C-alpha cells in the first residue's frame, strides 16, 4: 500500500533577481516497508525535496499525497499529519536542548495529546531498543553525535508514523557511529516494515536500500544497482 507520494513537484527560489529552479518534475512513490535512498550532488535539491515531502516546505507545482490524501504544508491539518504520519530526522539532529533524551523522544506523543507518563513509557522502550537505555536522562549536550542522532531517530519513530524521512542522518558521523545508525534503520525496516526515505551521500549504504534514486536537474531517476554496481552515476 502506498504511504507517501509526490508527483511532478517543482520548486524555484527567487533570490535577489536570481532564480534557482531546484525541482522541475520530481516524482516519487513510497509503499509500506520500502527503504528508499536518494542521492545526488550537493546543492541539487535533495533536502528541498525531503522538506516538501515532510510538509515542512511549500512547492510551486505538483501534488503530495500522504496515505492517498492530498496535503500541503500550509493546510490546517498539516501539523496533525506531521505529528502522526511522518517522522523527520534532520541532518543536524535538532534536539530540544532543555529536555532530556527521554523527554525529547516523548515530545511527539505529548503533542498528540498523550499523557507524559504513557509517552515516557514508550520513549524508554524505544531508547532501549536503540541501545540508549542508560542515556535516557541525559541532556543533548551530554550525548555524542551518534547518540543524539539515534535519539532523533527514536523521536521520529515514537508515533509509529507511516513514513520516516531522514536527511543525511549519518552525514556528520564517523564510520562506526554511522554504521550503528544504518543498522538500526535496516533492522526497523526489516522487523517492523517501517518505510524510510533517506537522503545520503554514502553510496555503499544506499545499496542496502530497496530502491535508490538519483536527483539531478530537478528530476528523480531510478538507479538500477545491478546495472550500475558502483553507484556512480553517468549522465
Partner 1 sequence: MRLISSKWKFSKLEQFFLLRYINAPKRNLMRFSFVFMVSGIVLSVGILSAGLNLFEGYEKSLKDVLLGSFPHISLQDANSEYFSKERADQIIQKLNKYPQIASVTPSISYAVMASNGDRVRGASLNAYDFSSGSSFPYSQYITQGSHRVNNGEAVIGKYLAKELGKGIGDSINVFYPRFDRISAMGLFSSERNFRIVGIYSSGYYENDRSHIICSLSDAEALLNINPSFSRLELRLDSEYIESASVLANAIQSDLGIDIVAYPWSIFSAGLLKLVAMEKWLIFIIFSFLVLIAGINVISAVTTIILDKKNEIAVLKTLGAKPKEVKGLIALQVGLVGFFAIIAGQVFGAGLSILVEKQGFYRLKGDVYFIDTLTATISPLNQFVIFAVAAVLVAVCIAYPLKQIDKMQIMDLLRNR
Ligand X SMILES: Nc1ncnc2c1ncn2[C@@H]1O[C@H](COP(=O)(O)OP(=O)(O)OP(=O)(O)O)[C@@H](O)[C@H]1O
**Residue 146 interface partner, choices partner 1, Mg ion, ligand X, none, CB cut-off 5-8 Å depending on type:** none
CB of 42 to ligand X, least distance (A): 3
Closer by beta carbon to partner 1, 111 or else 233: 111
Closer by beta carbon to Mg ion, 47 or else 136: 47
Name which of residues 179 to 218 contact partner 1 (CB under 8 A).
none
CB of 46 to Mg ion, least distance (A): 5
- DSSP element (H, E) containing 70: strand 69-70
Taking the C-alpha atoms of residue 67 and residue 85, their distance in angstroms, rounded to an integer, is 9
CB of 44 to ligand X, least distance (A): 5
**Residue 24 interface partner, choices partner 1, ligand X, Mg ion, none, CB cut-off 5-8 Å depending on type:** none
Taking the C-alpha atoms of residue 10 and residue 220, their distance in angstroms, rounded to an integer, is 12
Name which of residues 43 to 62 contact Mg ion (CB under 5 A).
47
Closer by beta carbon to ligand X, 41 or else 142: 41
Identify which of 147, 111, 154, 163 has the alpha carbon closest to the alpha carbon of residue 129: 154
The reply on whether position 47 binds ligand X by CB under 6 A is yes
CB of 115 to partner 1, least distance (A): 7
Size of the site for Mg ion (CB under 5 A): 1
C-alpha cell of 114? 498523550
Q: Which of 102, 135, 155, 177 binds partner 1 (CB under 8 A)?
A: 155
Closer by beta carbon to Mg ion, 111 or else 233: 233
Report how far apart the first and last C-alpha atoms of the chain are (Å, whole number). Answer: 32
Identify which of 118, 201, 107, 190 has the alpha carbon closest to the alpha carbon of residue 154: 107
Q: With H, G, I as helix, E, B as strand and everything else as coil, classify residue 11.
A: strand
Identify which of 39, 85, 63 has the alpha carbon closest to the alpha carbon of residue 214: 39
Which positions ≥6 away from 199 have C-beta within 8 Å?
A: 37, 38, 39, 46, 47, 50, 166, 167, 168
Residue pair 88/54 in contact by the 8 Å Cβ criterion: yes
Closer by beta carbon to ligand X, 159 or else 200: 200
Q: Which of 21, 41, 115, 228 binds partner 1 (CB under 8 A)?
A: 115
Size of the site for ligand X (CB under 6 A): 12
Residue pair 164/195 in contact by the 8 Å Cβ criterion: yes
- DSSP element (H, E) containing 187: helix 175-192
Q: Which residues bind Mg ion (CB under 5 A)?
A: 47
Q: Which residues bind partner 1 (CB under 8 A)?
A: 51, 54, 56-58, 73, 79-84, 88, 90, 92, 94-99, 103, 107-108, 110-116, 155
Q: Which residues bind ligand X (CB under 6 A)?
A: 13, 15, 20, 22, 40, 42-48
Amino acid at each position: 500500500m502506498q504511504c507517501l507520494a509526490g508527483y511532478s513537484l517543482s520548486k524555484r527560489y527567487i533570490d535577489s533577481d536570481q532564480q534557482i529552479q531546484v525541482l522541475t518534475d520530481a516524482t516519487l512513490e513510497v509503499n509500506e516497508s520500502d527503504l528508499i535512498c536518494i542521492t545526488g550532488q550537493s546543492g541539487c535539491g535533495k533536502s528541498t525535496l525531503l522538506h516538501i515531502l515532510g510538509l515542512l516546505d511549500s512547492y510551486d507545482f505538483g501534488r503530495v499525497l500522504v496515505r492517498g490524501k492530498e496535503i500541503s504544508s500550509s493546510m490546517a491539518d498539516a501539523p496533525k499529519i506531521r505529528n502522526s504520519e511522518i517522522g523527520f530526522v534532520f541532518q543536524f539532529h535538532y534536539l530540544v536542548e532543555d529536555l532530556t533524551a527521554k523527554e525529547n523522544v516523548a515530545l511527539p506523543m505529548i503533542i498528540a495529546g498523550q499523557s507524559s507518563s504513557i509517552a515516557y513509557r514508550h520513549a524508554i522502550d524505544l531508547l532501549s531498543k536503540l541501545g540508549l537505555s542508560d542515556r535516557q536522562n541525559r541532556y543533548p549536550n551530554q550525548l555524542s553525535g551518534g547518540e543524539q542522532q539515534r535519539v532523533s531517530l527514536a523521536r521520529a519513530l515514537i508515533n509509529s508514523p507511516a513514513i520516516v524521512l531522514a536527511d543525511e542522518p549519518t552525514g556528520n558521523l564517523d564510520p562506526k557511529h554511522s554504521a550503528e545508525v544504518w543498522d538500526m534503520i535496516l533492522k526497523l525496516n526489516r522487523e517492523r516494515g517501517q518505510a524510510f526515505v533517506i537522503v545520503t551521500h554514502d553510496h555503499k549504504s544506499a545499496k542496502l536500500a530497496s530502491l535508490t534514486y538519483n536527483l539531478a536537474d530537478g528530476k528523480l531517476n531510478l538507479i538500477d544497482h545491478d546495472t550500475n554496481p558502483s553507484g556512480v552515476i553517468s549522465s
